[in-house]
C-alpha cells in the first residue's frame, strides 16, 4: 500500500524486485544449455557446449534465426551425406 491507500502493480521491470533469485540473467552465456549437457560437464567454454548454447538461443519466430538453423543443419549434415555416398559407391 502506498501513502494514498492504493496498491501499485509490480512488474518485471521494478528496480527493487527485478532479480530476486541468485540465478544468472538470461543474456549470460551458458544459460541455454540443456540439463543433460550440464550434467555431462559441458559449458559454453568448450566447443560442443558453445554450439549447444548458440543453438538454444535461436528463436524460430525470427526469419534470420530460422535461416541460421538451416545453415547449421546443412553444415553438419553434408559430411554425413558424403560419407553415405562414399559407402554407396564402395559397395556397388
Q: What is the pLDDT of residues 28-74, one digit of tens each?
A: 666 677 788 888 888 878 888 888 888 888 889 999 999 999 999 99
For the chain, the domain total comes to 1
The answer to the question of residue 90 being in a domain is: yes
Confidence tier at 78 by pLDDT (50, 70, 90): very high
CA distance 90 to 86: 6
pTM of the model: 0.57
Q: Where are the alpha helices (DSSP H) in 19-59?
A: 35-39, 47-56
How do residues 1-32 score in pLDDT, each as one tens digit? Answer: 455 555 555 555 555 555 556 666 666 666 67
The radius of gyration of the chain from alpha carbons, rounded to an integer in Å, stands at 23
85 lies in a domain?
yes
Domain range for 66: 60-92
Mean per-residue pLDDT, 73-90: 95
Q: Is residue 82 one of the residues assigned to a domain?
A: yes
Report if residue 79 sits inside a domain: yes
Amino acid at each position: 500500500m502506498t501513502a494514498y491507500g492504493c496498491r501499485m502493480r509490480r512488474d518485471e521491470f521494478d528496480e527493487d524486485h527485478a532479480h530476486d533469485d541468485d540465478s544468472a540473467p538470461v543474456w549470460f552465456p551458458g544459460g541455454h544449455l540443456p540439463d543433460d549437457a550440464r550434467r555431462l560437464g559441458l559449458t559454453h567454454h568448450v566447443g560442443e557446449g558453445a554450439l549447444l548454447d548458440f543453438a538454444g538461443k535461436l528463436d524460430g519466430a525470427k526469419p534470420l534465426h530460422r535461416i541460421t538453423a538451416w545453415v547449421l543443419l546443412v553444415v553438419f549434415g553434408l559430411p554425413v551425406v558424403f560419407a553415405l555416398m562414399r559407402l554407396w559407391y564402395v559397395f556397388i
